Amino acid sequence: MKNKVTAIVNQKGGIGKTTTALNLGYALSEEGKKVLLIDFDPQASLTASVGINADNKTNIYTLMANSIEEKETGENYIVNIKNNLDIIPSTLDLAGIEMTLVNVMSRETILKSIIDEIKKDYDYVLIDCSPSLGTLTINALAACDSVIIPVTPEYLSAKGLGLLVKNINLIKKRINPNIVIDGILITMLNKRTNLSKEMVKAINESTRYIKNQYDLDIKVFENKIPISVKAGEAMLYKQSVIQYDPKNQVAGAYKEFAREWVI
Ligand X SMILES: Nc1ncnc2c1ncn2[C@@H]1O[C@H](COP(=O)(O)OP(=O)(O)OP(=O)(O)O)[C@@H](O)[C@H]1O
Q: Which is nearer to ligand X, 68 or 88 (CB)?
A: 88
Applying CB under 6 A, among 1, 2, 13, 96 the residue interacting with ligand X is 13
Cβ 113 vs Cβ 67: under 8 Å: yes
* Nearest distance, CB of residue 183 and ligand X, angstroms: 17
Q: How far apart are CA 24 and CA 257, in angstroms?
A: 8
Q: Which is nearer to ligand X, 31 or 233 (CB)?
A: 233
- Contact flags string 175-214 toward ligand X, x per CB under 6 A: ------------xx--------------------------
Cβ 22 vs Cβ 240: under 8 Å: yes
Applying CB under 6 A, among 250, 251, 255, 257 the residue interacting with ligand X is 250
- Phi, psi angle pair for 233, to nearest 5°: -60, -45
Residues 26-55 that bind ligand X (CB under 6 A): 41, 43, 45
The set of residues, in sequence order, having a beta carbon less than 8 Å from that of 77 and lying 6+ positions away, is 57, 58, 59, 62, 63, 88
Cβ 206 vs Cβ 165: under 8 Å: no
CA distances from 228 to 12, 163, 231 (A): 20, 29, 6
Q: Which of 32, 4, 31, 8 is nearest to 21 (CA)?
A: 8
Q: Is 149 in the site for ligand X (CB under 6 A)?
A: no
Q: Is 17 in the site for ligand X (CB under 6 A)?
A: yes
* Nearest distance, CB of residue 235 and ligand X, angstroms: 4
* Nearest distance, CB of residue 188 and ligand X, angstroms: 5
Q: Is 14 in the site for ligand X (CB under 6 A)?
A: yes
Q: Is 252 in the site for ligand X (CB under 6 A)?
A: no
Q: Is 90 in the site for ligand X (CB under 6 A)?
A: no
Instruction: Please name the amino acid found at residue 28.
Output: L
Q: Which is nearer to ligand X, 7 or 15 (CB)?
A: 15
- Phi, psi angle pair for 108, to nearest 5°: -80, -15
Stretch of residues binding ligand X (CB under 6 A), selected from 14-22, 78-86, 159-167, 210-218: 14-22
Q: Is 18 in the site for ligand X (CB under 6 A)?
A: yes
Q: Which is nearer to ligand X, 68 or 203 (CB)?
A: 203
Cβ 125 vs Cβ 6: under 8 Å: yes
A 10 A CB-CB count for 55 gives 12
Cβ 57 vs Cβ 89: under 8 Å: yes
Applying CB under 6 A, among 4, 48, 95, 131 the residue interacting with ligand X is 131
Q: Is 235 in the site for ligand X (CB under 6 A)?
A: yes
Which chain residues interact with ligand X by CB under 6 A? Answer: 13-19, 41, 43, 45, 131, 187-188, 225, 227-228, 231-232, 235, 250
